[in-house]
């Protein structure tokens, strides 16, 4: 131990240079800021970051879509809903607010 190191006011002559060669980090993905982790798709009742029934992998294979009304669903879920609606004669409506369903290009920025 040098005496300088015990004295916080004395400037230490030793300096450090750090070269970062690699960072292997870990992250999780989400569907963005306006869907929280606890939100579930109202149709299948599973998390948006999870999968719709019958789909094996989340993410690209089970995307989330937004309607013009701002409500979000798994693509497979809302499709199933819309097909069912078309069969029973009704038009395609949002499963939540019953407004006319239209896919939104934006991500539910309302």
Partner 1 sequence: MPATSSSTTTSITQPNYKDYYTRRLARSLQRHAAARNQSASHLAREFFDVPSSSPPSGLARRVIRLAERLRHDDNVNDVESSSLECRRTALSAAVFARAPPSFVDDWRRLFESLLERSHNRWHRGVVKNDDDDDVEVDNISEVEEEQFYHSLTTLQWTAHHLRHPFFTSLHDVTHRVVQSMIQSNFDTDGLLPQCLQWKDAILVPHVQRSVGTISFAEQRWDDRLRYAVYEAFVRVRSEELFDLVAEYPDSLPAVGELSAALDGTGRILYQSLAYRWRMGLVQRLLHPGAQTNQIIDVYISTIKVLRRMDASGELLHVVTRPVREYLRGREDTVRCIITSLTEEEGDLYEELQRQDARPLEEAQLQDLEDEDPPTFDWEPPPSILQRRGVITGRLGQVGSSSKRAGDILSMLVGIYGSKELFVNEYRIMLADKLLSNLDYDTDKEVHTVELLKLRFGEESMRQCEVMIKDIDDSKRVYSNIWCPLDMKASSEDDPPCLDAAIVSHIFWPPLQRDDMKHHYRIESQMDNFATEYAILKNPRRLVWMKQLGHVELEVELYETDDEGNVVSHVKEVKCTPVHATLLAHFEDKPFWTVEELSTETEMSDEMLKKRMAFWVNQHVVQQTRYGYSLISVHDAHSSEQSFVDHDDDDDRDHAVSFGAHEEEEMKVYESYIVGMLSNLGQIPLEKIHTMLKTFVTGSDHKFTKTPQQLAVFLQQLCKEEKLECSPDGLYNLLKKRS
Binding site for partner 1 (CB under 8 A): 1-2, 5-6, 8, 12-33, 37, 47, 49-50, 56-60, 64, 107
Residue 58 or 95: the one with the smaller Cβ distance to partner 1 is 58
The alpha carbon of residue 60 and the mean position of all alpha carbons in its chain are separated, in whole angstroms, by 11
* Distance, CA of 95 to CA of 81 (rounded, Å): 7
The distance of closest approach from Cβ of residue 69 to partner 1 in the complex, given in angstroms and rounded to an integer, is: 17
DSSP class of 66: E
- Yes or no: say if 61 and 55 are a contact pair by the CB < 8 Å rule: yes
Rounded to a whole number of angstroms, the distance between the first and last alpha carbons of the chain is 62
- Yes or no: say if 92 and 65 are a contact pair by the CB < 8 Å rule: no
Q: Pairing state of beta strands 72-74 and 64-66?
A: antiparallel
Residue 10 or 97: the one with the smaller Cβ distance to partner 1 is 10
Residue 64 or 77: the one with the smaller Cβ distance to partner 1 is 64
Residue 21 or 88: the one with the smaller Cβ distance to partner 1 is 21
The distance of closest approach from Cβ of residue 33 to partner 1 in the complex, given in angstroms and rounded to an integer, is: 7
The distance of closest approach from Cβ of residue 78 to partner 1 in the complex, given in angstroms and rounded to an integer, is: 16
The distance of closest approach from Cβ of residue 21 to partner 1 in the complex, given in angstroms and rounded to an integer, is: 4
């Amino acid at each position: 131990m040098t005496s300088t190191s015990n004295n916080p006011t004395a400037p230490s002559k030793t300096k450090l240079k750090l070269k970062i060669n690699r960072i292997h980090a870990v992250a999780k993905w989400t569907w963005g800021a306006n869907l929280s982790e606890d939100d579930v798709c109202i149709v299948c009742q599973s998390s948006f970051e999870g999968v719709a029934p019958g789909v094996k992998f989340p993410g690209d294979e089970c995307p989330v879509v937004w309607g013009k009304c701002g409500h979000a669903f798994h693509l497979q879920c809302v499709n199933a809903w819309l097909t069912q609606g078309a069969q029973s004669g009704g038009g395609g409506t949002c499963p939540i607010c019953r407004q006319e369903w239209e896919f939104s290009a934006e991500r539910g920025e309302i």
